Amino acid sequence: MTAQTGPLDGVLVVDLSRALAGPHATMMLGDQGARVIKVETPDGGDDTRGWGPPFVGDPGARESTYFLSTNRNKESITLDLKDAGDRELLLRLVDRADVLVENFRTGVLERLGLGIASLQERNPRLVVLSITGFGHDGPEGGRAGYDQIAQGEGGLMSLTGSGPDDPQRVGVPIADLLSGMYGAYGVLAALHERERTGRGTVVRTSLLAAVVGVHAFQGTRWTVAGEVGRAQGNHHPSIVPYGLFRCRDGSVQIALGSESLWRRFCDGFGLDPATPGLATNPERVAAREQVIELVEGVFSAWDAEPLLARLAEVGVPAGKVRTLDEVYSWDQTISQGLLVDVEHPTLGPVTLPGPPLRFFAPNGDEVTRRDHLSPPTLDQHGDSIREWLSSETGR
């Protein structure tokens, strides 16, 4: 067992999940000090170990960068849950666990003799996080869920793209990631409740729920106003100007989220903020194409870098569109602790995207965890976990 540090130090998480939604939730818990034991199948482990390219490492010991992205701060043990002996070992883990995370299709655990009710009967303090594709019940409760399908079924793709006839997926598996984030949030709430009641609860979420949960203003646009939002490219449906605008040698983004910013922008670039038909945001939304043409006409005399400098000088929120190599080499990214260096057992030193949270003591000293564990190789900790379970304390 490796010592952990962080707000969740002392919390034991048994991770039966695979792919991305569940593993992202357990990585978030591990980032904050929980001990996460990842239970994998003996025949290759987590699905994402085979998702690539890119793969890195020597032949015979190659690692998927996809797997590396979502499994830091975990230990790995392989168990065949159809084998009675391995099921018994899992139950011994459950007896000691604070949290169990699973994303099997509805009914799979029951068929394995590992139903959630029976697990909580063994360990009444156990918090269970269950993530499904479309929910564990309802008319389509047993339906398999994958990220892109959920993005489409949950309406997100209809809001993303160059226009209404060009639905696009988000460039990362956002339904998986969001359901993992919601799941980790639910686990923390359940652990807090357990301090009061002494009993664990079951937390359920789904890819569908996560996507619907972030509809934000697009949701109430329909439920309250009766308007169906549709994709319209890189410009905001309710705020103008707010989006990506062409300039002489590329493009920049601006976000004028208030009338004071509109006036500041106009003053900085020689425009009249009280131009008839453009003086208020509702008017500008109605005249969207005219405003875009106006802004891009002004920007056509500027290259991107001096334009961004001028926008900063004027006090207008603006930015560029960075590629990922630019993001990870950016001083601001590095300053926020968004890269972590770990020692991988076969790859050696590697740099990973880091946790997005930082913690500070009342005196201002940063107390964010720094000693992160590399994503494990398959069954890397199997022997040590078995030895730990056979010890008298097991804790």
Hey, which residues are catalytic here?
A: 176
Q: Is 107 helix (H, G, I), strand (E, B) or coil?
A: coil
Round to whole Å and give the CA distance between 393 and 372: 26
Q: Which residues pair with 340 in a beta bridge?
A: 352
Taking CA atoms, 333 is separated from 283, 342, 367, in Å, by 37, 18, 18
Going by the DSSP 8-state scheme, the letter that residue 379 receives in this structure is: T
Round to whole Å and give the CA distance between 43 and 89: 18
Burial, 263: exposed, middle or buried (Cβ in 10 Å; 0-12, 13-18, 19+)?
middle
CA angle (379 as vertex; 15, 113 as ends), nearest 5: 45
Which candidate, 22, 18, 21, 325, places its Cα nearest to that of 173? Answer: 21
DSSP string for 330-355: -HHHHHTT-EEEEEETTTEEEEEE--
Round to whole Å and give the CA distance between 90 and 97: 10
Radius of gyration, CA atoms only, the chain: 25
Residue 122 neighbours by CB under 8 Å, 6+ apart: 91, 94, 95
User: Cβ(376)–Cβ(71) under 8 Å?
Assistant: yes
Phi, psi of 74 (to 5 degrees): -140, 160
Round to whole Å and give the CA distance between 100 and 90: 11
